[in-house]
Structure 1
Amino acid sequence: MSFQYLKPNKSTKFKDRHTTKVDECVSPYEEGMQGDVGLVGLPFSKTSISASLASEAPAAIRKALGSYSTYSGERDKDYQNVSILDFGDVPVHPTDTSETLERLKTSVKEMIDTEACERYIMLGGDHGVSFPSISAFQEKFGRIGVIQWDAHHDLRNIDDGGRTNGTPFRSLIEAGVLKGEDLFQVGIRDFSNAKAYADYATNHGVHAYTMADIDDHGIHFITDQVIQILENKVDCIYLSVDMDAVDQAFAPGCPAIGPGGLTARELLSSVAKAAKNPLVKGMDIVEVDPSKDFRDITSRLAAHVMFRFMYN
């Protein structure tokens, strides 16, 4: 039987012949494929110290890719030929956190070992996923520098609760994966951290730029300064974007929202500026909780962070 309008198993989504949406450039990875950007989901948020369904973020951010075109009007350039290989999501263990962290590290390492792409994006999950992810990049590329956009230091002690989303960078430093002097934190916010962790940062050579620093010097000046320091010291640069670095007005779907943070434009322009450097090989986007979001504001901003990373 033929239908006049019905199309079983086919999308009824409107298609403009002149417009390419970003999700149309995504292909599931198969052995031997080559692309421009690799994508993997790390859907784990059981280590969050506040209630979080950030495990649902990879799916929400992927969905948001379908809302935007590949054309940049500011640059008058269409990026429809930039291919994205999706390696899927890492299956987490239902109860064993250590096993899950090992699975995350193994999967990220396996992805970059394919050498299928020049750059890779990891979609968290809470910020705890940065520990295994950055560890995998360090094993592959050598000395690693990290630019962390965040309201928090994430240098909490491990004794009080084990490895959580508040401990990834302390874990990396104490494991010898990351030198404190190679960690640059951008957007550290007032009344969001303990003095003990600010002191830990100082004592280990971590470079922490507060919102007051950004007010005084501007996000572009600070981003340029960070890149200039790192590019002369490390083998690889990794970007870690905690979405709670952004003011709660622009990113309501974060477990730890707060006022006085970056604007959406500040985050996007800073990521874009950093991503231009050829040493930048990977980026994670973390702390998006779709269950707390409003009209997908935070997931859509995360998608735009991806665009600034991919389209340079």
Structure 2
Amino acid sequence: MTDMASAHLSHDPKWTRAHSIFSAPSEGADVALIGIPAHEVSLSATSAHQTPGAIRDALARYSTYSSAHDVDLRDFSLCDLGDVDSPDHESGEKKVATAVANVRANHKLLIALGGDNSITYSVAAGMWPDLSKIGLITLDAHHDLRDGVSNGSPVWRLIQAGLSGKNIVQIGISDFANSREYSQRAKDAGIHVVTRDVLRKRPMADVMAEALDIAGAGGREIYVDLDVDVCDRAVVPACPASVPGGISADELRQAAFLAGADARVRAIDITEIDATLDTPDQRTVRLAALLVLEGACGVASRKN
């Protein structure tokens, strides 16, 4: 956390700030945090590379205790692996792969801070040499099935690299945010799509339970992509591609907790925030910080 970010915060020995519980890199920590400040292949200009640091700073706004789950994250081990330098393009993706290669052996959950959505490919491909053996859940307004290499193509790249569409669930797909062609591509690939309209009629807990079973079928480990632009634009003004009418901050927080609570989930990413576009109250990066804490709280709530 920067000195500027902490300068105006109160200090209370009985109120531990969440940023303080992330240690230096440590094998065996329950949760590992890593920054992947990718931004150079984004379809639109973005300063998303500044977001990992902003999220870390925002963690200081919150405590370590969840009243709902009676979990204090001080009782668990969390570490910060730092940022991957220059993670874009083929050379950068190799750096990401090196940085995350041993995560599954050393930690229960990786939380990757983007950066744009291109990191979903680089982190997943780096963690699992055989992508045919994993499942994917995205919470995203968009399919991300474009051709080429960009923040609009990670899901398609993963499919081309071996991930089965039948083990992919896309939650929160918005109207007028995707083309008919890419919607058809999702159908052809066998992807399970839960549109924004469906989410108005079903609780997030039910949708996530079904998604986890689909993605984790056959004993698969699961990667969860939290593209924050799935939320309503009023909630996440620092997400350039968010649309009015997206899901609520609370729904995305629920999804983060439920993902962390499932032992099949080995990685969560938080993407598509440009911290330089946020409002003065920092509502977008503060939500992202809460997603980190919800995911970690989920891990702490696991029964195994």
Cα 1:49–1:68 change in 2 (3 A) is same
Report if the CA contact (8 A) 2:49-2:115 is conserved: yes
2:65 is aligned to: 71
Residue number among 209, 215, 218 corresponding to 1:230 in the alignment: 215
**Preserved CA contact (<8 Å) 1:142 1:235:** no
Q: In structure 2, which of residues 86, 97, 113 is the aligned counterpart of residue 123 of structure 1?
A: 113
Equivalent pair of 1:44/1:54 in contact (CA under 8 Å): yes
Match of 1:172? 158
Larger displacement relative to structure 2 (76-85 or 248-257): 76-85
- Give the deviation of 1:226 after TM superposition: 1.2
After TM superposition, the score normalised by the length of structure 2 is: 0.91
Q: Give the alignment of 1:99-114 within 5 angstroms.
A: 99-110=91-102, 112=103
Matched position secondary structure for 1:55: helix
**More off after superposition, 127-136 vs 139-148:** 139-148
* Pick aligned residue for 1:98 from 86, 90, 95: 90
Q: Given the superposition, is the C-alpha separation of residues 70 and 223 from structure 1 closer, same or farther in structure 2, using an over 3 Å criterion?
A: same
Q: Give the distance between the partners of 1:255 and 1:92, measured in 2 at CA.
A: 22
SS in 1 for 2:98: helix
Question: How far apart, in 1, do the equivalents of 2:73 and 2:89 lie?
Answer: 39
Matched, 1:139 2:129: yes
Root-mean-square deviation (CA, aligned residues, Å) is 1.9
**Alignment-mate amino acid for residue 142 of structure 2:** H
Give % identity: 33
SS at match of 2:222: strand
State the 1:64 CA deviation: 0.7
Structure 1: gaps (5+ residues): 1-9
Alignment-mate amino acid for residue 132 of structure 1: S
Cα deviation for residue 141 of structure 1 reads 8.6
8 Å CA contact 2:139–2:227 kept in 1: the answer is yes
Correspondent of 1:310 among 293, 296, 300: 296
> After superposition, where does 1:234-253 map in structure 2 within 5 Å?
234-253=219-238
Deviation of 1:229 after TM superposition, in Å, equals: 2.5
Asked whether the 8 Å contact 2:73–2:296 carries over to 1, the reply is no
- TM-superposed CA distance for 1:235, in Å, is 2.3
Tell me which structure has the larger Cα radius of gyration: 1
Q: CA deviation at 1:148?
A: 0.3
Stretches of structure 2 lacking an aligned partner (at least 5 in a row)? 1-5, 299-304
Q: 1:249 deviation in Å? A: 1.0
Count of matched residue pairs = 292
* Pair 1:213 & 2:198 matched: yes
Using the alignment, how far apart are the partners of 2:107 and 2:37 within structure 1? 22
Residues 200-256 of structure 1: CA distance to partner in whole angstroms, max 9, x if unpaired? 000010111101111122322211111223333242011110000011111111121
Runs of 4+ in 1 over 4 A off after TM superposition: 10-13
Match of 2:302 in 1: none
When normalised by structure 1's length, the TM-score is 0.88
Deviates more, 1:212-221 or 1:183-192: 212-221
Question: 8 Å contact 2:141–2:174 — kept in the other structure?
Answer: yes
Alpha-carbon separation, structure 2, partners of 1:238 and 1:185 = 12
**1:60 maps to which residue?**
54
1:17 match: 13
The 1:142/1:190 distance shift into structure 2, 3 A limit, reads: closer
